[in-house]
Structure 1
Amino acid sequence: MILIENPEALRNCELIHEHPEAANTPFYAGWEIWANWAGITGLPLQSGYSFDRAELTAIAAKQGLGVALGREWLVREALQKKELIVPFNLVFPAPQTYYVVSTHKGIQRPKVRLFHDWILEKARHSKPYGNVVL
């Protein structure tokens, strides 16, 4: 495991990309957005490994194939077990948004209403997650 002491050191690392097949963006878009947010230039954005699922991206990082962006909630256990590390404390706000959707008729069903109320209550009391460099 190579310890990266600052974000600029990523210029010399193999980047691991997550790129869902259905995404209408370049495979390196996640790293490009992160680099712009972090103010880092010169990353080898168009090289490295690319996987279509976040889980595979995290596994590749665990196997030492390079450096990945990871969803904090998805890699929490690996971080606790020290299988992955966060080399510097730059947590990028997660751009994903989730919605609870139902028909007017569906929300009147007790089980649907119960789930709706439960999930919204959980969301209200949870901290926002971000993406971290692994």
Structure 2
Amino acid sequence: MLNLPPRAGCELNSSQFANFYTFQVAARHLSFARAAQELCLTPSAVSHRIGRLERGLGLKLFQRLTRQICLTADGERIFNILQGAVGELLEALQQAPGSEIAGPLAVYLRPSLAECWLVPRLAEFTARYPAIALDIRVGNETVDFRTQNIDLALYFTCGAFPGLVTSTLMDERIAPVCSPEYAQRHGLLEHPDNLQQCTLLHDSLAWDNAAYDAEWQLWARHRGIEAKLPQRSLTFDRSDLCTLAATHHAGIAIGRQRLVQQRLERGELILPFGDFALSSPCEYQLAHPPREPMPNRLQAFIDWLHECAADTEHA
């Protein structure tokens, strides 16, 4: 419920609601220009609406800097209230008898998981739920749900998320992968001793606070060959870039089964030292703030993700 302190001259008529909505959009973008594009207004009109809202509330909502704006403490507080109120309104409209599951849904995940696992499956979801407007965002950071307009995050993680609702989507297994040509050139098939001649491809952000070569060290300890790992390396901040480089004969990478299975099936990559015998210490987790009631569109997407994970269970 929108529970703001009473202010002289602050009447929540239709004009004032328009001002609140304009503020919400501008606060989400932290830009009057981008808010104007979304609302089909001019930046000047956006600024005037927010100015009227600030005068009506008797509060300063934005700090206007030279080339950007940022929320004040009062602005952030009211933005968070509005986010919840609008979400509740959309959910109430959505749950009308016979209504279609609909509405916007912002999902955040690691680039590798988006590229190699989620995006190739999205056509099936959009066909099943055409009225859900998915907004897929990627990055290597941890989401701050208090300030970012995100409904659900998918992480590859070894940790926990206190205060959030979390569930395990799927586990992961790892093994070295390379192109058939690279394996032949370096005599790798069933001969890990020949790694000394190779270039190792590292995902430096395999999980939070991991060493740049954490996955290789984990596999080497499992095989008892830590001392035999070469020093020559290429380092990336994404697992999919490691496997892409491996596909193009740049070296040998630690492959995550969920992410490289299709490349293996197409013969672009091989497993020179055997199958995925080692479990990763991390797993794919879903995280979102507590929501009561749970939005139907969010629950539908989570249920669909679990269906996809079940369809790709390891043999």
TM-score by length of 1: 0.75
Alignment of 1:67-78 (within 5 A): 67-78=252-263
Aligned length: 129
Q: Distance in 2 between matches of 1:62 and 1:120?
A: 29
More RCO (CA 8 Å, sep 6+): 1
Aligned residue in 2 for 1:16: 201
TM-aligned CA deviation for residue 87 of structure 1: 1.0
1:101 is matched with which residue: 280, 287, 297?
287
Q: Distance in 2 between matches of 1:14 and 1:36?
A: 18
List runs of 5+ in structure 1 lacking aligned partners.
130-134
Describe the superposition over 1:50-106 as per-residue Cα deviations: whole angstroms up to 9, x where unpaired. Answer: 111111101111121111111122222222222211112141213322333344435
Q: Distance in 2 between matches of 1:48 and 1:117?
A: 40
List runs of 5+ in structure 2 lacking aligned partners.
1-180
Distance 1:11 1:128, change over 3 A: same
Describe the superposition over 1:12-32 as per-residue Cα deviations: whole angstroms up to 9, x where unpaired. Answer: 322111112985333222111
Identity %: 29
TM-aligned CA deviation for residue 122 of structure 1: 4.5
Q: Which amino acid aligns with 2:300?
A: L
Counterpart secondary structure, 1:98 = strand
Aligned residue in 1 for 2:237: 52
Contact 1:28–1:46 at 8 Å: present in 2 too?
no
Counterpart secondary structure, 2:283 = coil
1:86 is matched with which residue: 260, 268, 271?
271
TM-score by length of 2: 0.36
Tell me which protein shows more helix as a share of its residues: 2
| Structure with max Cα Rg | 2
Aligned-residue CA RMSD in angstroms?
A: 2.7
Counterpart secondary structure, 2:291 = helix
Q: Distance in 1 between matches of 2:301 and 2:205?
A: 29
Aligned residue in 1 for 2:101: none
